[in-house]
Amino acid sequence: RLGSDYMHVVPATALEMIHRWQQKRERGQVERHIEWLEDFNDAIVNQIPAALAVIDGEGKVATLNPLFSQLLGVAAGEAPGQLFSAVCDAELYRAAGFDEMVEATHRGVDVVAREARWTNADGAAQVFDVRSQQLDDNGHVLLVLTDVSQIERQAEQIGELQRYNANIIQNINSALLVVSRSRKVNYANSAAE
């Protein structure tokens, strides 16, 4: 129906329709961006070579990444809602000091990374770098376990090789000198001395 206010109503209606279309378009862009961020987050969490667990303020598992699920021997879908202390292997839980770490993180204390030694279900010794970080004001804490067993074994091997080489160098009958370019002696074995 056309009334006397037709000239005022049509532009107002057109503007309203344009605003609704812009809002719908912006909402779609925001939703696509949120989906992208969620997919990006999932890719990082699932592919990162560290075991990640989010514990809520009551000490229950909020989520585990696949590596942490594998480490604990539980399906990722089974753990949420259960107490972390019940899901986690007792020896690993004690060795990592998860209770103290989570409590200190809740209090806002900067928690120093610690080392946890653990023998897994297969009987293999593992060493983990354990860290925590508060995620929000609701008490969610992120626990990060990075397996440093191989690095530690390599460091031990390097130490053994250094001791072995030092032993050989000290016990050979020939004199051995290491001299810098400026002709200063940096090292001499006992035969050289």
C-alpha Rg value of the chain to the nearest Å? 31
The mean per-residue pLDDT over the stretch 32-55 comes to 80
Start-to-end Cα distance in the chain: 113
Q: Is the pLDDT of residue 7 over 80?
A: no
Q: Is the pLDDT of residue 2 over 70?
A: no
Beta-carbon-side half-sphere exposure of residue 97 (alpha carbons within 13 Å): 15
CA separation for the pair 153, 21 (Å, rounded)? 62
- Per-residue pLDDT of 69-86, as tens digits, reads 888 788 767 888 888 888
pLDDT band for position 165 (cuts 50, 70, 90): confident
Looking at every residue in the chain, the average pLDDT score rounds to 84
pLDDT of residue 98: 86
